[in-house]
Amino acid sequence: MSKLLFLLFAGPFYLISLLPLKIHYFVSDIIIFIIGRILRYRQTVVTINITRSFPELRYGQIEERVKAFYGHLAEIIAESMWMVSASRKKLNKIAHFHNPELLKMQFAAGKSVIIVGGHIGNWELLTKMDHFGEGNPVGYSGDELKFIYKKQHSSLSDKFVRWIRESRSGIELIESNKAARYILKNRDKQACYFLFADQAPLPGSKFVTNMLNQQTLMINGPEIISRGVDCPVIFINMVRVKRGCYKIKFTLITDKPSECEDGFITNRYAQLIESSVRDNPENWLWSHKRWKRGLEDNIIKG
């Protein structure tokens, strides 16, 4: 039954994805206008998050940023649907690397790397990263690209998400609750792991930093795992230059995590996220309830 339901969803979805990207943008703009402006989907969450992150802004400026975010969200929806059937030639044009040599150097040295990033730009497109540019500018490709993701509660939804992200690529998706064990077990196999840890951590997380003018609980899994396998940690930043065009830049956090002080990697990661958000405020996923729990609510007392 679930297979039949999946086909009923996936078939039409794939056919729609074949439409030109311009049409996807047009349709998604209408959808977001209805969702954001009429139904006001998470508008309170978005407004509060932006207001607390940028206390210097006036009401009108906050409204502008809220509107800009929903415009950005519309583009994510359009591109994520389009990429399901997009050819390598088309994907090649949508994103460009600023400094691919930083990642390729690690590949040439035979190292695995951990890529940390955020819900910045269109993170879904990164599952097609080895299609950007001529040849393979970053070295890692196909099943060497491992994306850590949160499994959906519904088996049908989970199958659909995996299909969208894995379609037309050889990447591997790894459930977040199995990531640490998987990486440690395969530490001798060269791979590029993507761990996006900019959302709210689970109850019990105790790492606290300051980000966007607020005390912020951070997931420090990337730091713990990278120290366990002693592989480089690189931050990925994806900035929308214009509609249908992104620039991707890598920043080395450390190539010797086992020698870093406790907290260095996670704090540096938070700083890089904040820097990216400040430079391009509409480029982040403001609709997520990032600060939904206070410190006292999140820390489990033993």
**236 and 114 in contact (C-beta within 8 Å)?**
no
What are the pLDDT digits (tens) for 45-80? Answer: 999 999 999 999 999 999 999 999 999 999 999 999
Sign of CA dihedral 100, 106, 110, 114: negative
Tokens of 38: 């009429």
Tokens of 105: 């150097």
Domain ranges across the chain: 2-297
Tokens of 63: 């409204």
What are the pLDDT digits (tens) for 139-168? Answer: 998 889 999 998 888 888 888 888 888 876
Note the pLDDT of residue 301.
38
pLDDT tier at 296, thresholds 50, 70, 90: low
Backbone angles phi and psi of 136, in degrees to 5: -135, 90
Judge residue 296's burial from the number of C-beta atoms within 10 Å of its C-beta, 0-12 exposed, 13-18 middle, 19 or more buried.
exposed
Lowest mean pLDDT among 116-130, 142-156, 216-230, 242-256: 142-156
29: Cβ contacts below 8 Å, ≥ 6 apart: 71, 74
**266 and 220 in contact (C-beta within 8 Å)?**
yes
Helices 43-53 and 59-82, interaxial angle, to 10°? 120
